[in-house]
Amino acid sequence: MPDDLHPVLVRVLTARGVLCADDLGLRLDRLLPVGSLTGIAPAVDLLLRHVRARHRITVIGDFDADGATSTAIVVRGLRAADARNVDYLVPNRFEYGYGLTPEIVALAARAEPALIVTVDNGISSHAGVDAAHAHGIEVLITDHHLPGATLPAADAIVNPNLRGASFGSRHLCGAGVAFYLMAALHRRLQAETRAASNADARFRVTDLLDLVALGTIADVVSLDRNNRVLIDAGLRRIRAGRCVPGISALLAVSRRRRADVVASDLAFAVAPRLNAAGRLADMSLGIECLLTDDDNRARELALCLHELNTERRAIEAQMQRDALTAVDALRFDQGGQALPYALCLFDESWHQGIVGLVASRIRERVHRPVVAFALEDDDNLKGSARSVPGLHIRDVFDAVAASEPELLRKFGGHAMAAGLTLPRASLDAFSRVLNREVASRLSQDDLGGALLTDGELVGAELTLELAESLRGCGPWGQGFPEPSFDGIFDIVDGRLVGESHFKLSVRAAAGDPLCEAIAFNQADIIGVAPTRARLVYRLGVNDYRGTRRLQLVVESIAPIC
């Protein structure tokens, strides 16, 4: 480790597997080779054939932030490669559902594309690929989700998680896969100088890294070294003002300073506003925000996304109250015993686009996997699941489907998040089987909700300088968690701000200076701020009107009597 690193920073990095100065390097030359991604060469061959023939190419995206950024990456990359006829479609979740369905293929076929490119979806779309071929359309699948037992009969597939894949990172998100494909395409064009003569000479594939960073952070994939390289490069582009106008505009409506942006700003400010379009309306609004090069148009679209996000928050708050009421009723029904290993929650009034957020919030409260359901139609439910560390929720659904094939119509996803559809009449049976399956993989001790921290800090270490150092040593995220600490504090002052946040003044020990602290969304858990408590917290920086101050961001308050 460098000699000038703060001892706390050395401790934090060592705990995350960073053992020497070389491990800290996040330069782009540390990126895994573009050509090593499984399936990349035949995919580029397929793309070039259609680009050179001036064929129409349609990109089929997904309705979340990863899908939106992936779509923007491929559309921008293809247009810069002199693809003259490139358009995109993103399924409206309420009409077409997820992925390359036969219905979305039929819609795409009206424009008579010769090639469909999927981004962030397609690895389970057997029927959709077959439908495309029936229309005479070739299909290139780019995806990062886990494949099923068989692969669709696509003309090319790029996915780091294919069985037998040798690529060094299985944690690329859809945007990361899309970036690798565009990087390989432009590298081929540069090598073939005659073909490159019609391409945009001003374009560099690194121009796409701001979109890659946003998609990677938004999809909460594990931040292995390769993903951290991608995010770091993207964040540096954003801070330097070399990002697409849409990202600048979304930061502005979120009241985030572009010059100081870190991963958490994209995660908690930009991504939710982008996702709001897919949750409540049509993700095309978000994609257009990322595709436009006009600053004024970007601001208009960002304001629309901001308004949608405000609406989303109101809907989510009501659904969360409903869900907490249901959990309390379940505790009563259990006679004070422990809750089931997994919770299935459903209300006829719930919004399809918000159930994943509700599942996440309730999971944080009950420390066990949660599946929240909404009506898809009169006969079917659409659910979104959030898991806990140590439980691969998609594998659990796979086991449920194997033991009770009639329960699930379809499912897919990741270790920590997944989606599914099932008959409404099967909800109770699914809940029982899911609980049985989770109980076979976890113990009650696994569901205790223990918080792992980086230990305690003494009063002299609670400084703005250390907070700035930790902030600059990211990007932090899933698999490379932002440092958190714990300790006992006297709470000198505590008041409610907003509807559910505590603003606190705390002191670590007698004689230490007061520290400013904020505890988000904990008022309904604590009720009244205690006078002494054990806090789990992160060191944050409060930048208000150009003045930067240390602020403890409190994750947990445990009163001490």
Give me the CATH number covering residue 230.
3.90.1640.30
In 3D space, the residue among 495, 491, 492, 475 whose CA is nearest the CA of residue 483 turns out to be 475
What pLDDT is stored for residue 249 in this prediction? 98
Residue 253 lies in a domain: no
Tens digits of residue pLDDT in 363-395 = 988 999 999 999 999 999 999 999 998 899 999
Share of the chain above pLDDT 70, in %: 95
What pLDDT is stored for residue 218 in this prediction? 95
Same domain, 346 and 490: no
- Can you tell me the distance from the alpha carbon of 317 to that of 322, in angstroms, rounded to the nearest whole number? 9
Here the CATH number for the domain that contains residue 494 is 2.40.50.460
What pLDDT is stored for residue 550 in this prediction? 93
- Reading the block at residue 233, the tokens are 């490069």
- Per-residue confidence band for 559, with pLDDT thresholds at 50, 70 and 90: confident
Same domain, 59 and 174: yes
Residue 469 lies in a domain: yes
Residue 248 lies in a domain: no
Q: Hey, which residues does 494 pair with through a beta bridge? A: 504
- Per-residue confidence band for 1, with pLDDT thresholds at 50, 70 and 90: low
Residue that finishes a domain, picked among 418, 447, 476: 447
Residue that finishes a domain, picked among 211, 243, 275: 243
Three-state SS string across 470-539, please?
HHHCCCCECCECCCCEEEEEEEEEEEEECCCEEEEEEECCCCCCCEEEEECCCHHHHCCCCCEEEEEEEE
Residue 232 lies in a domain: yes
Same domain, 500 and 398: no
Structural domain containing residue 505: 459-559
What pLDDT is stored for residue 482 in this prediction? 94
pLDDT at 197 over 80: no
Q: Stretch 410-433: mean pLDDT, rounded? A: 91
Tens digits of residue pLDDT in 533-550 = 899 999 999 887 778 899
- Can you tell me the distance from the alpha carbon of 473 to that of 471, in angstroms, rounded to the nearest whole number? 6
Check: CB of residue 386 under 8 Å from CB of residue 360: yes
- Reading the block at residue 200, the tokens are 């945009």
Same domain, 101 and 206: yes
- Per-residue confidence band for 524, with pLDDT thresholds at 50, 70 and 90: low
Three-state SS string across 166-190, please?
CCCCCCCCHHHHHHHHHHHHHHHHH
- Per-residue confidence band for 335, with pLDDT thresholds at 50, 70 and 90: low
Question: Does this model's pTM top 0.85?
Answer: yes
Q: Stretch 77-101: mean pLDDT, rounded? A: 87
Residue that finishes a domain, picked among 210, 243, 276: 243
Residue 386 lies in a domain: yes
- Per-residue confidence band for 159, with pLDDT thresholds at 50, 70 and 90: very high
Same domain, 437 and 464: no
Tens digits of residue pLDDT in 261-298 = 999 999 999 999 999 999 998 899 999 999 999 999 99
Residue 177 lies in a domain: yes
Tens digits of residue pLDDT in 238-249 = 999 999 999 999
- Provide the 3-class DSSP secondary structure of residue 164: coil
- Provide the 3-class DSSP secondary structure of residue 33: coil
Residue 351 lies in a domain: yes
What pLDDT is stored for residue 193 in this prediction? 67
Q: Stretch 175-196: mean pLDDT, rounded? A: 87
Look at 190-199, 348-357, 509-518 and tell me which has the smallest mean pLDDT. 190-199
Here the CATH number for the domain that contains residue 433 is 3.10.310.30
- Can you tell me the distance from the alpha carbon of 262 to that of 242, in angstroms, rounded to the nearest whole number? 15
In 3D space, the residue among 207, 204, 257 whose CA is nearest the CA of residue 233 turns out to be 207
b/e per residue 374-412 (b: at least 16 CB within 10 A): bbbeeeebbbbbbbbeebbbbebbbbbbeebeebbeebb
- What does pLDDT average to over the chain? 91
Same domain, 200 and 345: no
Same domain, 128 and 219: yes
Task: State how many domains the chain has.
Answer: 3
Same domain, 342 and 488: no
- Per-residue confidence band for 53, with pLDDT thresholds at 50, 70 and 90: very high
- Can you tell me the distance from the alpha carbon of 275 to that of 507, in angstroms, rounded to the nearest whole number? 39
Same domain, 482 and 432: no
Same domain, 393 and 465: no
What pLDDT is stored for residue 443 in this prediction? 86
Pairing of strands 380-386, 532-544: unpaired
Same domain, 213 and 136: yes
Same domain, 426 and 497: no
- Per-residue confidence band for 41, with pLDDT thresholds at 50, 70 and 90: very high
Residue 310 lies in a domain: no
The helices-and-strands tally (H runs, E runs) of the chain is 19, 15
